[in-house]
Structure 1
C-alpha cells in the first residue's frame, strides 16, 4: 500500500518504507488509517507472521518496522532481537492497553519507540515514526564511528609491529616506506618490512608478504618482522637467517596453507655492494643516474612451501656512488590498467617511474602509489608495502654475481 502523500508531494525530502507486522486485521486497518492521515510520504507493506517479516526484510529496503508482539508464530519481547538481526531499520513496538510495561521493556530489547494501540493519533504516529528512524540512523552512525575508531587503533598497533622505525646510524643511507591495506577501512594485512644497521656499518632490510589477508596474516607478519630484527642484530645472515625464519613461520602460522614471500637486502656502504636473497619474491628496482631498472637476481622458493629444502642463492652487485633501491609487494603491480584487463606489471611500473621527477624519496613513493592506484581506479584488493633505500657512498665497484 502506498500513502496518498507519497506521490507528488515535494515538501518532503524523506521517503519512509514501512513494514507492518500485525496478524489482527482490525489493528492493521487502524495503523493504515493513521498513516494515511499523517503528512509522511511512505510505502506500507504488511506481514501477518514473523516468518513473513523475515522474508520481507531480506527482500528489500525497510526504514521502519511497526511490530506487534503477539504473532501466530512468535510472541513476546524476544521477537525484537530476531527482527533486528535481519535489518538496520528502526523498530516501533505496538502494545495493547493491557500491557502497561511491555512498551518500556521493549526499549531495553532494542526497539526505538513504542505506541499503545487505541491511544495513537496521526500526529503522534508521524512524530514517532520520523524520530524512531532518525534515532536508528544516529545509532548506526555512532556504531560505525566506534568501529572505525577501533579499526584505526588496531591498525596503529599493527603498523607499529609491521612497520617499525628504521634503526639507521649513518646518514649515508636513508629509508622511506609506505603501506596501504587492500580494502578501504580494512585492517592491515600480512605485508611487512624493516631496516636495521649493524655495528659494521652494513644496512640490512627485509620486505615480505604473508599469503592471505586478515588478522592471521597480520599476526604472522608481525612475528616474522620482529624475529628478523632480533636474528639480524644477533648476527644471523643470508640462508641461515632464512632457514630460521622459515622455522618460525611454520611454528606460528595459523594454517598449513600459509606461506611467506620475502626479500633480504644487505647494503654495504663501505664495500659498495648490494646483496639480495629472494624467497619467492620478485626483484626490486634500482634507481641510478642512468635511470631505473629491475635487478636481475637469483630466486628461491617462498618460506613454508617446502619446509627444510629451500635454497636461496645470493645475488651481489656493485653500488653506484648515488642511487636507490625500491622493493615492494605484489599489491603495487597487480592492479589492472584503466579497466583494460591488462595488469600494470613491472614494465608499467617502470614507465610510471620515468615520469616522476622529484628528489624527495617520500614524495616519490607517494606519487608512485597514487599513480598506480589511479590507473586501477582505486580497485586495489591486495595490500601493498613499498620500501625505498637511498644511499650516497663512494664505495668500490664490485662486479655483479650470483652464488
Structure 2
C-alpha cells in the first residue's frame, strides 16, 4: 500500500495500478507473479482503497477487502496468498477478543499465511507478539504499509507458512508411519508352542514399499492334546486391504484351531470368513496347513491351492511333499468340503519349511526364468549341506533369492521353519 500524506492523499512514489489482474511484465521481459492479499478490518487510514498496488520491483499486489470474518470467509479462495488482520479493529473489547478473532481466522484458513496489523504503540507490542505465538507469521504497523515493505512481508509470510505446513505434514507422516509400524508389528503372530519339542523360525517381507505387513500370513499353535498345527497362506494382491484380510484369516485360523477344528472343516469355515470379509468376489487366498502328531513323528498335510512344503529328513536331500490331494484356493469354489488331507512320516530328526509363492516366483538373472520350486529345493539343499539351520537357513535363503532376482522381490514373502531332533 502506498504511504499516506498528512492529508490522507497518496504520495507519488507508489501508484495504484488499475486494470486486469495478471502477471506484471518486467523490464527484462520476465513477469512477476501477482500476490493476492485479503485485508480484514475497517482500514480507518484508507490504506487499502484501491484494488491493485504495484511496488518498485514490479510486483502487483491485488487487494480484497472484508469488514469482518464473516465476509472474509466468503472471499477466501485458493488464490489468496496472505491475509492481513487488523487487530486494532478486532480488539474493541480487549486483547482476548482480538486473539479469539485470530484463532477463528486460523481455523478458517489453516494453510494461508496470516499477518496482523497493530497501531504500533507500546501497548500493541505485547499483543503483536502474542499474535505470532498464536499462529500468525508476522506483525506489521501502519509504517510498514508501503508496497515494497508490504510485498516483502507477504512473501516472507507465505514462505514461512509453507515451511510450517510442510514440517507439520512431515511430522504427521512420521507419526502415522510409527503408529502403523507398531500396529503391524502387533498383528504379526507370536507362535504358541509351549511344551513342544520343536524349534521355530520365521521370516516375513512384504512387497509393498515401507510396509511391515502384506497379504501373506502364517501362524503355529500347539493344542492341549499335544498336536502342533502350522499354517501359512497368501491373499491375492499386495495392498493394505489384502494385508488386513490376511490378518483376519490368521486370527480366525488360530481361534478355530484352538476351538478344536481341523482339516476340511477348518478350511471350509475359513472360506466362509473370507467370503464375508473380502471386498470383491474375485479375491481368494491360498493356504497350507500341517498338523504334526504329539510325538513329532508324523503329520497331516492340507493344501488349498498353495505350494507344497519342503521336507528335509536326516541324511537325505530335501524334497517337496506330495500335493496330489490338494484342493482349490479358499474363495474360488462354493463347496466347503473339497479338500482332502494326506499323511506322511517324519521320523526322529527333520526340518519342514513352509513358504509363500513370493519366494519361488523371483527371477533368475536378466531373463524371464523364475526360480520355481525345483530351484528352491536345490538352493535350500546346498545350504543344508553347508550346515545351516534355523534362523541362519532362512536368512541365507532370502539373501540368495534376492541376489538371483537382481534386487528386492516385488511379491510378499513369508517363510516358516519347524525343526525336530539334533
Same fold, TM-score > 0.5, yes or no: yes
Per-residue CA shift, 1:348-400, capped at 9, x if unaligned? Answer: 3234324434544122212322332343344433222211111128xxxxxxx
Q: Which residue of 2 aligns with 1:292?
A: 318
What aligned pairs does 1:71-90 form with structure 2 within 5 A after superposition?
Answer: 82=78
**1:164 and 2:215 equivalent?**
no
SS in 1 for 2:318: strand
- Report how far residue 286 of structure 1 moved: 1.3
CA–CA distance in structure 2, aligned partners of residues 188 and 69 of structure 1: 52
Who wins on radius of gyration, i.e. which is larger? 2
Q: Relative to 1, partners in 2 of residues 1:26 and 1:118: Cα closer, same or farther, differing over 3 Å?
A: farther
Q: Is 1:177 matched up with 2:202?
A: yes
- Within 5 Å, give how 1:144-293 maps onto structure 2: 144-159=173-188, 163-171=189-197, 173-186=198-211, 188-268=213-293, 270=295, 272-288=297-313, 289-293=315-319
Compute the displacement of 1:104 (Å).
9.2
Q: How many angstroms apart in 2 are the aligned matches of 1:309 and 1:321?
A: 35
Change (3 A) 1:67 1:124: closer
C-alpha distance in structure 2 between counterparts of 1:79 and 1:346, whole Å: 66
For the Cα contact (< 8 Å) 2:23–2:32, is it kept in 1? no
Compared CA separation, residues 241 and 27, structure 1 to 2 (3 A): closer
* Residue aligning to 2:148: 120
Say whether the 8 Å CA contact 1:67–1:94 is kept in structure 2. Answer: no
Alpha-carbon spacing, 1:327–1:137, altered in 2? closer, same or farther (3 Å): same
Q: Which residue of 1 aligns with 2:402?
A: 373
The Cα RMSD (Å) is 4.1
Cα 1:132–1:166 change in 2 (3 A) is same
Q: Give me the TM-score of the superposition, normalised by structure 2.
A: 0.65
> Aligned equivalents of 1:259 and 1:273: distance in 2?
30
1:302 Cα offset (Å):
0.9
The match for 1:398 is none
Q: Please tell me whether the aligned partners of residues 166 and 175 of structure 1 are also in contact (alpha carbons under 8 angstroms).
A: no
* C-alpha contact 1:300 1:310 (8 A) present in aligned 2: no
Shift of 1:325: 0.8
Q: Shift of residue 228 of structure 1? A: 2.1
2:110 alignment counterpart: 110
TM-score (norm 1): 0.68
